[in-house]
Structure 1
């Protein structure tokens, strides 16, 4: 069952959240402000995130702001690393490189699919692609510092 979200009057209709994505719970006030986000474990065991592109995510040209794509990719990569460690470690972004490939449309459900390349004792290397449907719209490469999770 997918979740249908109402769009503000005059805004493009929002797509439904796919049934295999569930609400993403976070303590980050910034992510809460930009969300809601949804999470999914993909067939390969990697965890990813998605969100519905709303009016609040658009820039002055009425296309998704690059910052929302960076936010989604950064959080998806961190979430994928945390999931891979069975929730025992925290990850801090050291570097994030990005490429804007194509445009998603307001109302689209976009999702981030991380690809973990290497997790070392202190550093992890990971890529992330963001899709609108089957169309790749964004790519990021990240380097993350690993730290022990504190209570």
Structure 2
């Protein structure tokens, strides 16, 4: 289903389905069950994250659950900051905040784009926008902190 690829850290390339050629992290059980979520580098060098909304992502009202949108935003945070993170480097989300802008229906293509607003050190600041079929669903900002894994 997937294989390791250069330039995406520990992400693997998807080899089947709608997201063939896209990358995903397969070492996070929660993220894998929630998504899986995918990313690819665009021609302009930025990263696009995406997944297809399914009934299992919806809340009781029939729209995408806010927790799912924020989980995806957390994935996108690291995809957007991919070039700031060296392969094998450890990092955590220090802060993630979002504003819900609109509903996402089952079957929608959910995408996230953004930018690193400050990087270069141990702390990376990111902002982005999640859309459902091209319509704004969530604006988000986040802070990633790099750390050394202690033996």
> Shared fold (TM-score greater than 0.5)?
yes
Count of residue pairs brought into register by the alignment: 136
Any stretches of 5+ residues in structure 1 without a counterpart?
5-16
Q: CA deviation at 1:49?
A: 1.7
Q: 1:47·1:83 contact (CA, 8 Å) conserved in 2?
A: no
Give the TM-score of the pair, scaled to structure 1: 0.78
Change (3 A) 1:150 1:109: farther
2:99/2:140 contact within 8 Å kept = yes
Inter-partner Cα distance in structure 2 for 1:148 and 1:115: 24
Matched, 1:37 2:32: no
Q: Partner residue of 1:46?
A: 46
Deviation of 1:84 after TM superposition, in Å, equals 3.5
Gaps of 5+ in 2: 1-15
**CA RMSD, 1 decimal:** 2.3
CA displacement 1:28-80 (0-9 Å, x = unmatched): 00011112222111233122321111111011101000011101111111122
Change (3 A) 1:124 1:115: same
Residues 104-139 of structure 1 show CA distances to partners (whole Å, capped at 9, x for unaligned) of 111101011121101142211101111123211111
- Contact between 2:84 and 2:119, CA under 8 Å: does it hold in 1? no
TM-score by length of 2: 0.78
Equivalent residue of 1:59, what SS? coil
Partner of 1:67: 67
Partner of 1:142: 142
**Corresponding position of 2:116:** 116
Report if the CA contact (8 A) 1:101-1:137 is conserved.
yes
Instruction: String of CA shifts for 1:3-49, please: whole Å, max 9, x gaps.
Output: 76xxxxxxxxxxxx477x62523200001111222211123312232
Residue of structure 2 in register with 1:8 after alignment? none
